[in-house]
Copies of this chain bind each other. A is one copy, B any other.
Amino acid sequence: MASSLKLVVIGGIAAGMKTACKTARLQPHANITVLEKDEIISYSGCGLPYFVSGVVHDREELFSTPTGVPRTPAFFEAVKNVKVRNRTEAVAINRANKTVEYRNLVDASTGSVPYDKLMLATGARPIVPPIPGVDLANVFTVKQVEDAERIQKALEGSETKKAVIIGGGLIGMEMAETLADCAFDVTVVEMLPRILPMLDAEMALLVEKHLDEQGIAVRTGVAVTALEGEGGRVAAAVCGNERLEADLVILAVGVRPNAELAANAGLEIGRLGGIQVDERMRTSDPDIFAAGDCVECNHLLTGKPCYSPLGSTANKQGRVAAMNICGEDDTLSGVLGSAVVKVCDFAVGCTGLTEKQAKQAGYDPISSLCPMPDRTHYYPGAKGVLLKLVADRSSGRVLGVQAVGPGEIAKRIDSAVAALTMGMTVEQLSKLDLCYAPPYASAMDNLITAANVLRNKMEGRMVGIASSEVKQKLDATEDFFLLDVRSPGEVQAAAISGAVNIPLGKLRAALDEVPADKPVVCFCQLSLRGYEAATILKAAGHEHVTVMDGGVAMWPYETVRSG
């Protein structure tokens, strides 16, 4: 047997521990050392919001195996044959000597450890925006188990029970739900025009509407310019002309890769600030690998670097790194940016490109909106899925799926992931043999229907119009005919001001009520009847007929209830 491999891993959370343990299985005689500057290793950072709210009761659950064994250094030594030195910071990499210098954070002792192969899994750190007052007490980022515990204490000690969350991304959403669950008045402030940049604007608006319905306030297109304190503790956030009272502020404006150690060692850093790696997770030094939140990824649809700091990606990358460290050939060609997040009673998910991102990437995107229940509508418990499908107009290639709503969102996202990975067209997607039974799906699944609607648009059978455009026309009192073909009962429950109601079943007999000389926009609740109406009107000679994408179910603006 060859002399045993010496692997040093810097970082003991997701990618680092995956690489260490997989290497130990591939080469049981390898000498593996993990250096981690913090106390707790191998924990689920993604679980922190649920620990803050008490949904997850015990901090140990965040770093325990499925059978309840805490993943401590002793556990890794005994079970995995991996030595973990926690509270030990790697301070420099000496590539010439192939050593890592470290400092013990408990006793301040220093030392160095030699490597044959080095793995960088240094993770990321939360961005702290440079605004006055971020150093006040009760201003938190959410990264470590200790952060979560500090937030829990602050929750208990809060007097105002008011919180401001700066940043409307994934962590911002999770913390908004968490704090609302803890009976806080929560305001989310997002500098961009909409929350959740993983979604197109009209989809993000639906989530903002849901937050509003849950009593969570949202401010978009405005920045927090200062935090004000009282006795050293935060008391308010200044946000445009507003002063938002809050004795708890969460900074959730994103994370930045910890790439300094790599940069100081002369390794290539990408344009997005992450360590550059190839598809084998090799850095510019063939003996140094990197994975997880500290590296940049390749986006499968743009072919360009992207930053995807997620536990799912970190674990896959860590495995690929281990395989290559041990001389096996394994690659990860890229990511799709798939994500899902729970936002109160909604799930919000996406994969691939938004329509906006697709445009930026040089595609000519076209999209469909499809609101539908997540199973047969007659089966108890059916819940809504509001889905957007994006494709490239010329090639027909599926580019992305976004979905929000109370129904089974993650299922529809995941069902499209292999399709996107393999370059499927919308037509191919519409033929997928997805499984069907009333408790789980409709005979035509949401994805299939969305694909069929998109085919109707791409093949010229249906002309869509975005709800935002309809809203603009209404606001500008443009001369057009807005035709609501729902039943009177549906109209009473939620009407769009300015629309005229002719139920679909009566339309053929009431064609003279639709002015022949005006553009007509048809809509219904979900969109099928709107499309039927457009077909009827076109057959009757109307030339300018469009169907409002997504119907009332995905209308993100105000509706009027009557009767």
Contact = CB atoms under 8 A, between A and B. Distances in A.
A162 to B, nearest CB: 26
A351 interface: yes
B379 A47 contact: yes
A417 B436 contact: no
Contacts of A459: 328
A437 interface: yes
A62 to B, nearest CB: 7
B437 A341 contact: yes
A542 to B, nearest CB: 12
19 contacts: A25-B535, A46-B376, A50-B438, A66-B377, A67-B486, A79-B504, A79-B505, A316-B430, A316-B448, A340-B436, A340-B441, A342-B440, A349-B435, A408-B408, A410-B441, A413-B435, A416-B418, A418-B418, A418-B419
A374 to B, nearest CB: 10
A431 interface: yes
A452 interface: yes
A558 to B, nearest CB: 22
Interface stretch (A85-93, A108-116, A183-191, A525-533): A525-533
Given A46-B437, A50-B439, 11 more contacts: A25-B532, A46-B443, A47-B379, A312-B436, A319-B452, A340-B435, A340-B436, A349-B435, A415-B418, A417-B434, A418-B422
A342 B210 CA distance: 31
A222 to B, nearest CB: 27
A421 interface: yes
Contacts of A416: 418
A227 to B, nearest CB: 29
Nearest to A419: B418
Interface string A428-471: 11111111111111011100100010000001010000000000
A261 interface: no
Contacts of A69: 487, 505
A285 to B, nearest CB: 24
Contacts of A337: 433
A125 interface: no
Interface of A: 14, 25-26, 28-29, 44, 46-47, 50, 55-56, 61-62, 64, 66-67, 69, 75, 78-81, 170, 300, 310-316, 319, 328, 330, 332-333, 335-342, 347, 349-351, 372-373, 376-380, 408-411, 413-419, 421-422, 424, 427-441, 443-445, 448, 452, 459, 461, 486-487, 490, 504-506, 508, 525-526, 529, 531-532, 535-536, 538-539
B67 A487 contact: yes
Contacts of A443: 14, 44, 46, 311-312, 314-315
A175 to B, nearest CB: 13
A538 B28 contact: yes
A101 to B, nearest CB: 30
A471 B337 CA distance: 45
A430 B330 CA distance: 11
Nearest to A335: B433
Nearest to A64: B378
B433 A336 contact: yes
Given A378-B47, A428-B421, A437 B340 contact: yes
Given A336-B433, A538-B28, A50 B315 contact: no
Nearest to A409: B440
A376 B44 contact: yes
B411 A62 contact: no
Contacts of A435: 312, 338-340, 349-351, 410, 413-414, 417
A312 B376 contact: no
A79 to B, nearest CB: 5
Nearest to A316: B431
Nearest to A537: B28
Those 5 A-B pairs whose CB atoms lie nearest each other, nearest first: A28-B539, A312-B436, A418-B418, A311-B443, A422-B422
A544 B315 CA distance: 30
Contacts of A332: 431
Given A316-B431, A341-B437, A26 B490 contact: no
Given A55-B380, A432-B418, A25 B80 contact: no
A536 B28 contact: yes
Contact of A431 (B333, B429, B436): B333
A312 B313 CA distance: 33
Contacts of A338: 433-436
A342 B439 contact: yes
Contacts of A448: 316
B25 A531 contact: yes
Contacts of A29: 539
Contact of A46 (B310, B312, B438, B532): B438
